Amino acid sequence: MTEPRVHDLADPSSGSRRDRILDVLRSSSEPVAGTALARELGVSRQAIVQDVAILRAAGVPIVATVRGYLLTPAPGAHAHRMVVAVRHAPAQAQDELLAIVDVGVRVVDVAVDHPVYGELRGPLLLDSPADVRAWAKATAETRAHLLSELTDGVHLHTLESSDPDRLRRAAAALAERGYLLPGATPAASERPDPYQSKEHNP
């Protein structure tokens, strides 16, 4: 289905701008930075952040990644999924992620079980070593804390691949490095995308 046309009666131009944001995201195969959208549309980055928030509230499946915004692809080419439970120090995060993408597996997200807020989940959508390095660089430059720091290093990753054998190889690589939690025996399965809207498909 087509994303909704979202208009603001108080500011008609904002509705047209959101339509243009969707057009840009639909035409790009890569994430689009908020600063690039702001420059193209002649507004502040904060205006883009607000527009994206309104679009997401309307059900448009936009995901914010370290490289920018993108419309989440419909499941298909990457139908097989696995959730792995891991634990490591913040300094080992890049090595952990590289162990996964090096065998051709996508890291969809990271999640932790917070004692107050329950499950906290963040999209990652990392497919390659270059993606991991960009994520690590952004984390270092912004001095951002990892979600896993809230739970003493324990967290979950949703992994995705068109080949279930690659998922098993990724889990084995994590186990070899000592990151996989003892007793955790992940199994590949076909799962719906947690970031794919059931009502709006790009």
Tens-digit pLDDT profile for residues 57-103:
888 888 888 788 988 765 555 479 999 999 999 999 999 999 999 99
CB distance 6 to 55 below 8 Å: yes
The total number of residues shown for the chain amounts to: 202
The domain 80-190 having CATH identifier 3.30.1340.20: the answer here is: yes
Among the CATH numbers 3.30.930.10, 3.20.20.150, 1.10.10.10, 1.10.357.10, which is that of 12-71? 1.10.10.10
Q: How far is CA 20 from the centre of its chain?
A: 22
Confidence (pTM): 0.73
93 phi, psi to nearest 5 deg = -60, -45
Q: Which residues of the chain have pLDDT under 50?
A: 1-10, 12, 78, 197-202
Question: Would you state the pLDDT for residue 187?
Answer: 64
The tokens 């936009």 sit on which residue?
62
CATH 3.30.1340.20 domain position(s) in the chain: 80-190
The CATH 1.10.10.10 domain(s) of the chain lie at: 12-71
Taking a C-beta distance cutoff of 8 angstroms, is the pair 119, 113 a contact?
yes
Residue type, 198: K
